[in-house]
Amino acid sequence: MARVHPNASAGATPPKAGLVKQLRASLQRLRHTERLQRALFDIADMAGSASDMQSLLSGLHRSIAQLMYAENFFIALYNPQHDTLRFIYFVDEVDGELYHPDQEFTAAELQNSITVGMIRHGKPMRGSSLQITTALGLDRHHNVGSPSIDFMAVPMRRDGQVYGVLAVQSYQKGRGYSQSDQDVLAFVAEHVLNAVERKMGQEALERRVTERTRELAQVNARLQEQVQERERAAHLQSTLYRIAALSHEQISSKEFYHSLHQAVGELINVENFYIALKSADNRWLDFPYYVDELGGRIGQRPLGRGMSEYAMRCAQTVLLSDTEISQLIARGEVHAATYGEPAVCWLGAPLTGTQGVIGVVVVQSYRTNLHFTRQDADLLTFVSYQIAATLLRRQQDQALQALNIQLEQRVRERTIELQHQIAVREHVQQQLQHQVMHDPLTRLPNRVYVRDQLEIALARQKRQADSQFALLYLDVDRFKLFNDGLGHQVGDRVLQEVAIRMADCVRSPDILGRLAGDEFSIVLVDCRQPADACQVAQRIQARMQEAIEIAGRRLYVSLSIGIAMGQGYHCSVDELLHDADTALYQAKAAGRRCFVMFDANVHDTATNVLDVEQQLRVGLETGQFVPYFQPIVRLADTRVVSFEALIRWFHPDKGVLGPDLFLPVAEKTGLIEALDWHIYDKVCQVVPSFLGADQVINLNLSPHHFHGQDFASRFLELLSFHQIPFKQVCAEVTESSLLSDPVAAARILGTLNKAGIQVALDDFGTGFSSLSHVHQFPLNSLKIDRSFISQLGSGQPSRSAAIVSAVIGLARALNIRMVAEGVETVSQRDHLIAMGCERAQGLLYGSAQPAEHWQLQNHPGGFLPGGEGAEPHKPTGHP
């Protein structure tokens, strides 16, 4: 391939207004990039936050609305196992209440909807709802939802399976979506899916924890009730025990009854309390203890029809109000004279012994605000048993002790159960915290955890000046090629294997984490010298030299590493991460597979690369890149047989720039494919105006194209669209570009060759295993590198002539055309003719010129005389 000479003529500088427009476009592009990065950070932060699902979804909506028009936005999750979907978030100015987040539909129910169509289709789509309906083969008369002017949706995929759809739509003219919006939405979709699934898992776990907590609370409440019941029972038992114990104490009758009064007073109100006992002859009623707030004392009276006798006749506890007492008096059951002072409430329990009722224990109230309850009656009944059955007290005491033992055992068992349940809950909480702080794919600490550890390290360094640490920022080289070319599943396996190998190279105190995508970090907790960090980086680089076998392929993966030492001037984790990221960027700029220690020069260089990247993006948007064409002639008669298309940048400030000044940055930043397709389209637009029917246009293929699945079909479609005959197209590849994935390269080049497109091997002799490439790939011509041609005719002894002669003989034997690059002098031309070389390209026959130049030349028969000029510099592998 030809290269642009540094002295190439400069293009006209656009007027000032155009420059301002370009700068505004650049500023808008920068703001868009910033909004995209901020949105991705917001999505990651929201996924790890404690907010609920609807708050997360609303936050996702706001983040996407910062990137594009998203007034009408929905997220639909698809369950492949049950073939159902649910619109977990749906905001629409026309169909606002069409779906409920908890409502689940079968795919059959919505089979004619665009959402189900997108899930089946599995690729991003953009256009009006009518256009998408037609493209998906749906019945537009039975569509679900209102038709929109512009609709854009992307599938949310993982491991090749669609798990949902992310969509925005517009009902307003002038509010539509571009390919850039579609690319952004597709890029954000995977992050949204990860965030939603993580939040759903978190909420599910929280629901399980909440349900378990509620169950534990209910069990605890029941246990508390049981404990309270046992406490009341224990209190009653204690009182009864005290009453029973009184009968064994050596105290007087007065002390005995007084202690009995106090014991009963712990259970019920005993302001008015007395005990009445039958005399041995059943003629008298004795009152051994009598306390009454109205005063007075009864020692003994004949048995009659008093309230005490009534309770004894009933042989059960009696609870009566003043009304009920009046009714008893009215019926003659009780004599008023014997009853005494009327009470508001009267409670009496018979004392029953082995011979029947022997007496009664009574409490009574003269106050209207004090009434005894049935529970009080039951308590007094228990007390009456204790007083009457002194002989059975030992047995009752033994039963009480057994009941206490049983109660204590139950309490211990329940305590053990509660301790176990608490331990289970703590374990669940620990699992939840681990999931929040770790990456589910590699099981490494995630960005949140790494940032926490860096905060700790910075704080420790501020407290202890001798505390040193280092941060390694690692990135998998060309990971996008693995992920896009071989599938996300292979990409995930690559990341897992990289994580395992890196873990083998760090010590136990150090922290290895995955920040995002193919980015990793290592925090060297105790790193005294930069050399120690470099040794770790060297170990990792050496460990990664072994091939990774995945899905029947041997993949060679390398890492670029940026190293930043923790310094006292680092005020925040973001500053430290920025320094490490800057060093990483410089490592990639140095050719990858290396590590760079951060310094000020690294920062300045990375800033320059970022500037060029932004200018490249603006140049693509504003059409600053154009194709130039250099002729390839037949040496026998100088007839032009083909043109090689070469890229030039009409920079608004620097004039016409050759590819060596910007293609390296395009390679590193992933813009090379966009540049290629832009030039392919431009070439197809202009070559019909000057390309003869028997002439060929040569297009250079970047090695990045060999990692895509659809390059060949897309390339052929482009040529067909512009009506460029396949036989008039030659695809040029370099030897080094074939090494990235020889199997894919052979497949793609074979497809193009079968369609009629010629294939040329450029810069022949400078790569690896040149001869093996000649028979491994479908080649039609060889272009021997200019380094061999430059020494022909110099008059100095050189092996170049022998090498060129051998290559010409090889090409003739294999029936492959031979093209000599870099022919600049008549002497070189004469030597090549003498050796039998058929075709040449170089300064002698013309430099690369725009299409207008060749349209005006209009040479009869396509003949060119030997000319002068500077052959532009052409970097290997790129147009």
Over residues 436-458, the mean pLDDT reads 87
pLDDT at 589 over 90: no
**Is the whole model's pTM more than 0.85, yes or no?**
no
Over residues 248-257, the mean pLDDT reads 73
pLDDT digits (tens, 9 = 90+) for 386-399: 777 643 453 345 45
Radius of gyration of the chain from its Cα atoms, rounded to whole angstroms: 47
> Of 689, 579, 717, 566, nearest to 627 (Cα)?
689
Most trustworthy range by pLDDT among 254-263, 361-370, 421-430, 853-862: 361-370
Query: Between 44 and 126, whose confidence is greater?
Result: 126
Q: Write down the pLDDT at residue 864.
A: 66
Over residues 260-266, the mean pLDDT reads 82
Query: Between 51 and 472, whose confidence is greater?
Result: 472
Q: Write down the pLDDT at residue 515.
A: 87
DSSP type of residue 871: P
Q: Write down the pLDDT at residue 869.
A: 36
Is residue 90 within 8 A of residue 58, CB to CB? The reply is no
Q: Write down the pLDDT at residue 9.
A: 44
pLDDT at 12 over 70: no
Query: Between 603 and 168, whose confidence is greater?
Result: 168
Task: Indicate the pLDDT class of residue 680, thresholds 50, 70 and 90.
Answer: very high
Sheet harboring 595-597: ordered strands across?
A: 511-516, 519-524, 470-476, 559-565, 595-597
Q: Write down the pLDDT at residue 152.
A: 92
Per-residue CA distances from 353 to 350, 358, 385, 387 (Å): 10, 6, 8, 9
Q: Write down the pLDDT at residue 715.
A: 93
pLDDT at 22 over 90: no
Element of type H or E holding 591? none
Over residues 290-309, the mean pLDDT reads 82
> What are 130's two structure tokens?
């009518």
pLDDT at 598 over 50: yes
Q: Write down the pLDDT at residue 796.
A: 64
Count the neighbouring beta carbons within 10 Å of the beta carbon of residue 508.
Answer: 6
Return mean pLDDT, the chain. Answer: 82
Percent of the chain with pLDDT over 70: 88
Is residue 821 within 8 A of residue 789, CB to CB? The reply is yes
Q: Write down the pLDDT at residue 775.
A: 66
Q: Write down the pLDDT at residue 608.
A: 65
Q: Write down the pLDDT at residue 261.
A: 83
Lowest mean pLDDT among 6-15, 187-196, 343-352, 708-717: 6-15
Is residue 825 within 8 A of residue 844, CB to CB? The reply is yes
Lowest mean pLDDT among 147-151, 508-512, 841-845, 859-863: 859-863
Task: Indicate the pLDDT class of residue 434, thresholds 50, 70 and 90.
Answer: low
Over residues 600-615, the mean pLDDT reads 67
pLDDT digits (tens, 9 = 90+) for 448-474: 899 999 899 888 888 887 788 999 999
Is residue 564 within 8 A of residue 470, CB to CB? The reply is yes
Task: Indicate the pLDDT class of residue 331, thresholds 50, 70 and 90.
Answer: confident
669-672 CB contacts, 8 Å cutoff, 24+ apart: 669/609, 669/613, 669/616, 670/480, 671/613, 671/616, 671/617, 671/620, 672/702, 672/704, 672/878
Q: What torsion do the CA atoms of 478, 484, 487, 493 make, to the nearest 10 degrees?
A: 20
Q: Write down the pLDDT at residue 6.
A: 45
Task: Indicate the pLDDT class of residue 679, thresholds 50, 70 and 90.
Answer: very high
Q: Write down the pLDDT at residue 857.
A: 75
Q: What phi and psi values does residue 793 have, to the nearest 5 degrees?
A: 70, 15
pLDDT digits (tens, 9 = 90+) for 91-141: 988 887 778 888 889 988 888 888 898 888 889 999 988 888 888 888 877
pLDDT at 696 over 80: yes
Query: Between 539 and 199, whose confidence is greater?
Result: 539
The 3-state secondary structure of 813-843 reads HCCCEEEEECCCCHHHHHHHHHHCCCEEECH
Sheet harboring 345-353: ordered strands across?
A: 300-302, 284-291, 273-278, 356-365, 345-353, 318-321
pLDDT at 866 over 60: no
Is residue 237 within 8 A of residue 400, CB to CB? The reply is yes
Task: Indicate the pLDDT class of residue 871, thresholds 50, 70 and 90.
Answer: very low
Task: Indicate the pLDDT class of residue 256, thresholds 50, 70 and 90.
Answer: confident
pLDDT at 859 over 80: no
Over residues 716-739, the mean pLDDT reads 89
pLDDT digits (tens, 9 = 90+) for 205-216: 888 888 888 889
Most trustworthy range by pLDDT among 108-112, 233-237, 453-457, 735-739: 453-457
In the chain, the N- to C-terminal Cα span, in Å, equals 7
pLDDT at 31 over 80: no
pLDDT at 204 over 90: no
Lowest mean pLDDT among 313-322, 509-518, 655-664: 655-664
Percent of the chain with pLDDT over 90: 19
Instruction: Give the contacts of 343 (CB within 8 A, at least 6 positions apart).
Output: 272, 322, 325, 364, 365, 366
Q: Write down the pLDDT at residue 1.
A: 40
Over residues 860-873, the mean pLDDT reads 46
